[in-house]
Structure 1
């Protein structure tokens, strides 16, 4: 008998039995179910199972939060249920049967950017560290930076740009690779396609935006501009999907004995041409339009209202999965404007959720079992990973989630109102201050203080007044 056999049997019963399970898998902390009928799952009874820390539905999957021992729980569940597990990618694919068109689009977008997150986080940390040593005047009575007085740190500053440039300037390579991998196409062709969008042979995207004269490929009857798409997101997404779809369709019609020669050639060459003639220019215009609309909204007279709404609703967006769209918008803002005023609000939302959990820790300071869940969740949240806090604590009690949303909105108003901009994305929670442009660090620190104090105070207030307390 396994450690979680009894609880696995309960979960199997409450989820609607074996016949209600289309697919099951697990990730780092959650069991992921694709159910034939989600209405058959008794959510309230499932939440009462001792090992279960919460449930939610996302990307067409009914997800049950177990925690760090999810692998052991999963093995016991498979044994008692007789259901054969599948991979996460297969579960996601099966889960799309329960999704509408918009949800499927968001799911695809999330799957594109998820493999890129480790690199984006590293890039954000590097750019943040370069901020500290190269842009903040800390020495000689606030007149010089560390780079200006030390050759060693000047060398470090210069060297680190090698990595930062590789991650953000050549982001299209990562995007086209990720799309190829996700769709089951040849990953090397995705990489090659990405390189053709950022090749040194092309005029750098920033030089194009600066009005430099654009060289061309002259075919006699037509000329094609040699424009690079460094840091551009939408051109890479469009080109990546065209390549993958074209390759997969060619595989179906080209005989296997010549497919190794014919398929790569007739998938890659037309896509690269199409990328520079049609997809790139269109994607650039779409991306520019989106970034300008978002930036205009945040810097307009009603920017405070936009900020308040975004700050208040970002955590619920995470629940739905819609927050994946902000990655593309942030990266587009960075490429167009040299920074983003959206990411600081995301970091503040992380902090606000963690602060609400901190209040729960204070309110339940004598409950050792509660602290085993809430303390790791708070730490994780302050480091930018909100899932354990949101699903394991805040949504469970409701009132801390509401307090965090209000605190996030308040902090976002201050952040946007004082013009806070981040150099990069990827570093959330308290370390998010490293990604902020030096001239805005004090303003962001004040916003962080609000994101800590307001949710903490409101959570305690709501608990004592029994406001939004789940019965």
Structure 2
């Protein structure tokens, strides 16, 4: 018998039997099922299995949180059910069959930006550190920055921009590479396409926005502006998908013995032309329109309402996967306005979810089994990883999740009302304050206190008044 034989048998029974499994894969902490009929899965019974820390459905996949033992559990599941192992990519492809058109678009966006997140987070931390040493007057009685009094720190500040520039200015290269990787096309062509969008011979996108007149490619009968798309998201996405789809189509018609020569040429050259003549200008206009709409909404007289709604509903967006859209919007805001007033609310939402878990730890302080799940979940949430907290604790009981939404909304209102701006996307939890522009760090710190205090208090209030919205009284905290 294996270590989890009983649990595997129970899981197979509760998800409708092995015949209900289309594919199954796993990631670092979760099993990812694509079920033939989701209605056959009994989620309450699945979550009652001892090793299971939560379950949810996202992007067409029925996902079960196991934890660090997921690989061992997965291998026993495959062996007992006599299933074929599937990769995460195969599971995603199968899962898309269950999605609407909008859900598929969101799924694609998520897969484009997921590989880029580590670099973007590193970039955010670097810009945050440059904030601290280069923009905050902390020396000589609050009159000078660290870089002004120390040549060493001035050198560090200057050197770190090398990495920040590589990540954010040349972001289109990462986007076009990620699209080619996701679509199964030639990745080096995606990289080359991205470089053509940010080449040094093109006038910098920021200079164009500042009013400089770009040089042109003069073809005699027509002229094309030599504009770069540094830090631009939508032009890169449009160009990347054109290249990938063009390559896939051309492959179908070109004989294999000349494909290595013909396919790259016929894919890349037309894409670069269309990117600079059509897609780039269109993408620029679309990106500017989206970022202006969001920025105007957050800075208008009704910004508090925008913030309240976004702060309240961001966590549910995470459940649906729609939150992936915010990455593109944040990056576009950074490009247009030199910072983002949307991302701080995302960090506050994560903090609020962690605070609700802290309240559950307090309410269940005598329950050692519960603490084994909730304490690590709270820590990871405060460091920007909300999944264990949301799916393992807050959604399980419902009322902590609602309390976190309320706290996130109020914290978001204060953040927007005080004009908080972040230089970039960063770590979406307590360390997120490093990404905030120095002038707004105190305001954001107060917003963080709101995101910590309100969910904790509301969670305890709901529990003491028995406003827990749960059908299972056994699940109530003491």
Deviation, 1:115, is: 0.3
SS at match of 1:374: helix
SS at match of 2:470: coil
Distance in 1 (alpha carbons) for counterparts of 2:158 and 2:312: 39
Higher mean C-alpha deviation, range 40-49 or range 271-280: 40-49
- Aligned residues: CA RMSD: 0.6
Aligned partner of 2:197 in structure 1 is 197
Deviation, 1:321, is: 0.1
Deviation, 1:469, is: 3.6
Deviation, 1:53, is: 1.2
| Superposed structure 1 runs of 4+ greater than 3 Å apart | none
Distance in 1 (alpha carbons) for counterparts of 2:426 and 2:141: 32
SS at match of 1:39: helix
For the 8 Å contact 1:31–1:74, the answer to whether it is kept is: yes
Say if 2:36 is the partner of 1:40: no
Deviation, 1:85, is: 1.7
SS at match of 1:24: strand
Distance in 2 (alpha carbons) for counterparts of 1:198 and 1:261: 25
Aligned partner of 2:103 in structure 1 is 103
Q: State the TM-score, normalizing by the size of structure 1.
A: 0.99
Deviation, 1:375, is: 0.5
Give deviations 1:380-430, integer Å, cap 9, x for gaps: 000011000000000001110010000000000000000000000032100
| 1:238-387 alignment runs, 5 A limit | 238-387=238-387
For the 8 Å contact 1:32–1:61, the answer to whether it is kept is: yes
Distance in 2 (alpha carbons) for counterparts of 1:75 and 1:129: 43
Say if 2:117 is the partner of 1:114: no
Deviation, 1:79, is: 1.0
Higher mean C-alpha deviation, range 424-433 or range 282-291: 424-433
Distance in 2 (alpha carbons) for counterparts of 1:78 and 1:360: 35
Give deviations 1:206-241, integer Å, cap 9, x for gaps: 000000011000000110000000000000000000
Say if 2:177 is the partner of 1:177: yes
Distance in 2 (alpha carbons) for counterparts of 1:169 and 1:2: 51
SS at match of 1:32: strand
For the 8 Å contact 1:203–1:214, the answer to whether it is kept is: yes
Give deviations 1:287-321, integer Å, cap 9, x for gaps: 00000000111111111010000000000000000
| 1:401-420 alignment runs, 5 A limit | 401-420=401-420
Give deviations 1:308-361, integer Å, cap 9, x for gaps: 000000000000000000000000000000000000000000000000000111
SS at match of 1:344: helix
Give deviations 1:39-92, integer Å, cap 9, x for gaps: 111111111111111111000001111111111111111111111120001100
SS at match of 2:211: coil
Deviation, 1:18, is: 1.4
Aligned partner of 2:186 in structure 1 is 186
Higher mean C-alpha deviation, range 385-394 or range 365-374: 365-374
Higher mean C-alpha deviation, range 365-374 or range 325-334: 365-374
Distance in 1 (alpha carbons) for counterparts of 2:426 and 2:226: 31
For the 8 Å contact 1:462–1:469, the answer to whether it is kept is: no
SS at match of 1:63: strand
Say if 2:402 is the partner of 1:388: no
Say if 2:141 is the partner of 1:161: no
Deviation, 1:468, is: 3.0
Give deviations 1:258-295, integer Å, cap 9, x for gaps: 11110000100000000000000000000000000001
Give deviations 1:135-194, integer Å, cap 9, x for gaps: 000011111000000000000000000000000000000000000000000000000000
Distance in 2 (alpha carbons) for counterparts of 1:264 and 1:135: 46
Aligned partner of 1:60 in structure 2 is 60
Higher mean C-alpha deviation, range 237-246 or range 10-19: 10-19
SS at match of 1:64: strand
Higher mean C-alpha deviation, range 71-80 or range 345-354: 71-80
Long gaps (5+) in structure 1? none
For the 8 Å contact 1:355–1:455, the answer to whether it is kept is: yes
SS at match of 2:51: coil
Distance in 1 (alpha carbons) for counterparts of 2:17 and 2:270: 50
Aligned partner of 1:462 in structure 2 is 462
Aligned partner of 1:427 in structure 2 is 427
Deviation, 1:19, is: 1.2
SS at match of 1:57: strand
SS at match of 1:62: strand
Deviation, 1:21, is: 0.6
Higher mean C-alpha deviation, range 65-74 or range 267-276: 65-74
Q: State the TM-score, normalizing by the size of structure 2.
A: 0.98
Aligned partner of 2:8 in structure 1 is 8
Aligned partner of 1:447 in structure 2 is 447
SS at match of 1:34: strand
SS at match of 1:143: coil
For the 8 Å contact 1:25–1:31, the answer to whether it is kept is: yes
SS at match of 1:200: coil
Distance in 1 (alpha carbons) for counterparts of 2:85 and 2:389: 27
Distance in 1 (alpha carbons) for counterparts of 2:185 and 2:269: 15
Distance in 1 (alpha carbons) for counterparts of 2:174 and 2:153: 29
